[in-house]
Structure 1
């Protein structure tokens, strides 16, 4: 594992009906759901480190802080950027920010992940 602060990833997505609070069940409005915003943030953190993990390693989420600051309606484009800011052994801390095409900050926060051996993790989880 050769992970160091500064690793980054960016995702661009368009809000579709399946991404809405109404569809996911986290609310009753047709805007980007908070759980979907979190899933995008986690995906960006995974993508930032994927090429740098050793064979058989993966990472799992362990802690999240999320501020969902602005609504993104159907059809809106949201860009999410994540950056690895801290490495403490196997513990990784990422900062992320999501913006719409007008530059409005949609959300921001941190995601913590831990690097694990994939096979051992799955074995323990399925016992």
Structure 2
């Protein structure tokens, strides 16, 4: 992590919502999702907010050796957004506690606020992280 990784860093990220990021596309294996309205899915919206946070702090870490993973999300999804609208995420790093980062996040679809809340990420060493995850695939004791 660089010394520039400090609270107050802000970033704005824009994305044109395609049909492939709507509720029916979230889990096409689920009959229930397929029957739902074609609007920006909460699951994809969360990913969009994470994407904005990643882009916000990548210049302030040793990317790609250091990366961040999401560890907590607490956001509203208070308005539906149809495909074709551009959504804008505005994120601010509000806390740095060692490798733990907390962001205030908000998204707007050009008509109204669609989401706001907090997102927490953790700075990882990619090689160590991959080794630890890989150990889950090996039987215990081998």
TM-score computed with the length of structure 1 as normaliser: 0.93
| Structure 1 match to 2:38 | 30
- Which whole-Å CA distance do the structure 1 matches of 2:66 and 2:87 have between them? 30
1:35-46 equivalent positions in 2, closer than 5 A:
35-46=43-54
- Secondary structure in 1 matching 2:20: helix
Q: Stretches of 4+ moved more than 6 A in 1?
A: none
Flag the structure with higher strand content: 1
Gaps of 5+ in 2: 136-142
| Structure 2 match to 1:84 | 93
- Secondary structure in 2 matching 1:68: coil
- CA shift at 1:19, angstroms? 0.6
Instruction: Indicate whether 1:50 and 2:58 are aligned.
Output: yes
Root mean square deviation, CA, Å: 1.3
Instruction: Indicate whether 1:117 and 2:125 are aligned.
Output: yes
TM-score computed with the length of structure 2 as normaliser: 0.84
Instruction: Indicate whether 1:74 and 2:83 are aligned.
Output: yes
Gaps of 5+ in 1: none
- Which whole-Å CA distance do the structure 2 matches of 1:13 and 1:36 have between them? 11
- CA shift at 1:54, angstroms? 2.5
